[in-house]
Amino acid sequence: MRTLLDSLILAFFLLSGLSRLARFNVTASSLPKDASGKAKFFEGFPIPTTLALDAMMAIWAWNGWHEGKDGLPWGLIGEGLPGKGVHVVSFVFLAWGCAMISKSLKVPKL
């Protein structure tokens, strides 16, 4: 994932994680609490959910799906465009970043 658009999407993902952590620190005291005094839910995906993306990439590396002519699963679109296109898997990172910074997405704590 080394095209210009891939890099921009991955930078957005990284900045979404940083924003998520900063917002948690600022809003943790204002979230509704349960009887034990802990917040009932997370606003947006919590940072540890990104381990699912790590696992996905580890499986791809284990199977060699990051090498060769075909490259990453789901391929590359827009190869002829300036910046040499974008890998479809980058949109997974884009969606995950949006889920991390979402204010309306409430993830219950277990």
Write down the domain spans for the chain.
4-108
Q: What is the pLDDT along the chain (110 residues), one digit of tens a residue?
A: 788 999 999 999 999 999 999 988 888 788 778 888 788 888 899 999 999 999 999 998 898 887 655 578 888 888 777 778 888 999 999 999 999 999 999 998 87
Give the model's pLDDT for residue 68: 53
Distance CA 2, CA 76 (A): 11
One-letter amino acid of 40 = K
User: Of 63, 71, 101, nearest to 88 (Cα)?
Assistant: 71
Give the model's pLDDT for residue 61: 87
pTM: 0.84
Cα dihedral sign, 56-58-59-64? positive
Q: How many CB atoms neighbour CB 110 within 10 A?
A: 3
Task: For residue 62, count CB atoms less than 10 angstroms from its CB and return exposed for 0-12, middle for 13-18, buried for 19 or more.
Answer: exposed
